[in-house]
A and B are shown apart, each in its own frame.
Chain A
Amino acid sequence: DAKTTQPTSMDCAEGRAANLPCNHSTISGNEYVYWYRQIHSQGPQYIIHGLKNNETNEMASLIITEDRKSSTLILPHATLRDTAVYYCIVPLGDSGGSNYKLTFGKGTLLTVNP
């Protein structure tokens, strides 16, 4: 099971891009990287996931390095409502390869400032 490492906190100016890094150097070849966020007192929210190609959706972009040992979540135009704790997760699961256990560590507290 791959462990992830993220900075404790980051600041970003409103309207600018927020780039949140994550290290997952022990990730194996068939393990995905998932990103979730948790706004204060709410349930976690799925953002995006990827295996080895870069991914983009309406919320964010995910850039995964070629060696897959790290990734960066990009919020292209951060707003005040993006202030949250962001979690980079490599899910665990059963021996059959179905990975459903989300382990939420400390994450990165992103504060978007006006």
Chain B
Amino acid sequence: NAGVMQNPRHLVRRRGQEARLRCSPMKGHSHVYWYRQLPEEGLKFMVYLQKENIIDESGMPKERFSAEFPKEGPSILRIQQVVRGDSAAYFCASSPYRTGQATQYFGPGTRLLVL
């Protein structure tokens, strides 16, 4: 059973460009979570999605950031007009249950570098 997959693993963007990060949850998992880890800091919750629904986006910056989890295909975290402060590791996690959702399985992350 393949784990959570994220791509790309590394992404370099210039200021003002768009970044698209993809996450394929584990098979059978319908809950997806995105976290951001700034350099030398712990992971911070960004958003929780189920298929075609955003459940909680309380950790997401109000501007330039958006996330989706369509009926078909991977979850996408989109960052428009990137700035240097967006440089971080972005982790996706998935879980199968409506309850017990704190048991999350993480992907390897996407390292975003904004030049």
Contacts and interface: CB of A to CB of B under 8 A. Distances in A.
Interface stretch (A14-22, A63-71, A73-81, A96-104): A96-104
Contacts, number: 62
A98 B98 contact: yes
B33 interface: yes
Given A42-B108, A43-B106, A43-B108, A98 B42 contact: no
Interface size, B (range): 20 to 34
Interface residues of A, number: 23
B69 interface: no
Contact of B43 (A34, A91, A102): A102
A105 to B, nearest CB: 5
Contacts of A106: 42
Secondary structure of the A side of the interface?
Answer: loop
A45 interface: yes
Given A44-B43, A102-B35, A32 B106 contact: no
A106 B40 CA distance: 9
Nearest to B31: A100
Given A42-B108, A44-B43, A104-B43, A98 B103 contact: no
A46 to B, nearest CB: 6
26 contacts: A32-B102, A34-B102, A43-B91, A43-B93, A43-B107, A43-B108, A43-B109, A44-B91, A45-B106, A46-B103, A46-B105, A89-B102, A91-B102, A93-B101, A98-B98, A98-B101, A99-B101, A100-B33, A100-B48, A100-B101, A102-B102, A102-B104, A103-B42, A104-B37, A105-B42, A107-B42
